Amino acid sequence: MSVGTCTRCSSPLEREDLRCAVCALPAPRMVEADGVREAVAQILRCNGCGAAVQYSAEVQAPKCDFCNSVMEIETPDDPVEQAEVFLDFTISDAEAREALKAWLGTKGFFRPNDLQDRAAVDGLKPLWWVGWMFDAHAGVCWAADSDAGSGRSAWAPHSGRFEMRADNVVVPASVGLEAEECRELVPYYDLARNSTEPKGHPGATVEQFTVQRSAARRIISRALEGVARSRARNYVPGSSVRNLHVSVLPSTLTSKHLAFPAFVLAYRYGDKLYRAVVHGQDASCVLGEAPIAWGKIIFVSVAIISMIALIASALV
C-alpha cells in the first residue's frame, strides 16, 4: 500500500520501503524513534533471560549466549505481491475447444490434411497468468548512428532528447507462459472488463507472482527502458539505424499487479502431444504449436528442384 511519494522522482513509496525503488532516495522514517536527552550507553538485553546480548554474524541477528534465544530485528519487508486486478474470463471451455479446432484449420498447406479432424484435446486448463502494468513519465536522451546526413561512411551520429508518457505497459511475470506468448495475448485484452476477485471461470488456477517487490521494480524499470528505446527509434532521422542507446530518467512510476485469463490446451495428433494457448477474452487469438507434414515439404522441395533442373537443362 502506497504511503506517500518520493520527493525526488514522485514515484509511490510503500510503508516498508527503505529507499525509493526508482531513484534510491532514502524513504522518510514513518515513525520517528524516541531520542535521548543526553548520551547514554545502552545495553541490549535478552527478552528471555535478561542477559546482555550481542549481534551474531552466524544468525544475522542479536543472539543471547546464555539461553541461545535470537532477537528479531527490523528487516526490509520485501514481499512477493499478488494480483490485485483480475480481467474477467468471457470465453467458456467449449468455446476454447472450438477456437482451437478453428485455429488448426487455418494452419496452411504444410500441415496434415486431417489435422482439424484427428486432433483430440487431451487437457484444458483455464488459468489467470500474471503480469505488472505500469504507467510512467520519463525524460529520455538518445544517441545513435543512422544513414541520414552520412558522408564517406554509410553512418552519421545523431542525438536528441524527448519526454515520454507510457501508459498501461504490461510486463509479463508468468512462469507458465512464455514471455513472447504473453506479449502476443496482451493486445486482445479488454482492460475495462476487470474486477478485484477472479470472475468468469470458477475453479481456474490463479498463477502466483514469484518475484519479490524489489526485483519486480527492477524488471519494470528495464521494461520502461525497452519502451523508451523503441520510441526513440521514431526520433532518429533516416531509414537505417544502429547503436541506438538511451538513458532514462523516470518519474511517477506506478505499477499494478494484474491477472490475465487464458486457456492452456494440450492436444494429441497421432502419438504426439502439442500445446496451445487460447485467449480468455477473445477466441480469435490462439497461439501454439502444430504438427508439420514433412511428406508435403519433401514433395514440394523435390518438385521445385526438379523444375529448376528441367528449366536449366532446357536453357543449356
Partner 1 sequence: MSAAVEAALDGLSCESCGAALNVAAGERTTRCPYCASPAVVARPRSAGEEPTFVVGFVIPEEDARTRAKAWMRSTWFVKSGFKEADVTDMRGVYLPAYLYSASARVGYTASIGENYTVTETYTTTDANGKSVTRTRTRVETEWRSLSGEWSAYLDDVVVTASRGLHNEELEAIEPYDLRALRRYTPKILSGWLAEDPSRTAAECATMAREEAVQQIGRRVSAFMPGDSHRELRYKTSFAHEHGALVLLPVWVLAVKYDPEQPAVRMVLNGQTGALVGRPPRSWTKVTIAIVAGIFALALVIYLGIEA
Q: Could you list the residues that contact partner 1 (CB under 8 A)?
A: 7-9, 18-19, 22-26, 29, 35-44, 52-58, 60-62, 71, 73-76, 78, 139, 141, 143-145, 150-161, 214, 242-245, 247-249
φ/ψ of 176, rounded to 5, equals -70, -40
Question: What one-letter code names the amino acid at 138?
Answer: A
Decide whether 153 or 313 has the Cβ nearer to partner 1: 153
Least distance CB 1 / partner 1 (angstroms): 19
Least distance CB 106 / partner 1 (angstroms): 43
> Is 269 buried (19+), middle (13-18) or exposed (0-12) by CB count in 10 A?
middle
Least distance CB 76 / partner 1 (angstroms): 7
Q: Within 13 Å of residue 77, how many CA atoms lie on the same side as its CB?
A: 8
E-state strands within 178-271: 194-195, 205-206, 241-269
Q: Which residues contact 59 (CB under 8 A, 6 or more apart)?
A: 70
> What does the block give as the cell for 240?
537505417
Least distance CB 34 / partner 1 (angstroms): 10
Decide whether 139 or 176 has the Cβ nearer to partner 1: 139
Least distance CB 61 / partner 1 (angstroms): 8
Least distance CB 51 / partner 1 (angstroms): 9
Angle among Cα 291, 276, 205 to the nearest 5 degrees reads: 155
- Spatial CA neighbour of 207 closest among 265, 259, 172, 256: 259
Decide whether 145 or 181 has the Cβ nearer to partner 1: 145
Rounded to whole angstroms, the Cα distance separating 232 from 141 reads 8
Decide whether 11 or 281 has the Cβ nearer to partner 1: 11
Rounded to whole angstroms, the Cα distance separating 124 from 286 reads 14
Distance of CA 190 to the CA centre of its chain: 18
The answer to whether 129 and 182 are in contact (CB under 8 A) is yes
CA distances to 36, 38, 44, 267 from 41, rounded to whole Å, are: 11, 10, 10, 72
Decide whether 182 or 232 has the Cβ nearer to partner 1: 232
Rounded to whole angstroms, the Cα distance separating 67 from 48 reads 7
Decide whether 76 or 79 has the Cβ nearer to partner 1: 76
Decide whether 62 or 291 has the Cβ nearer to partner 1: 62
Least distance CB 257 / partner 1 (angstroms): 21
Decide whether 90 or 150 has the Cβ nearer to partner 1: 150
The answer to whether 277 and 263 are in contact (CB under 8 A) is yes
Angle among Cα 55, 36, 61 to the nearest 5 degrees reads: 15
What's the length of the chain?
316
Least distance CB 74 / partner 1 (angstroms): 6
Decide whether 41 or 94 has the Cβ nearer to partner 1: 41
Least distance CB 21 / partner 1 (angstroms): 10
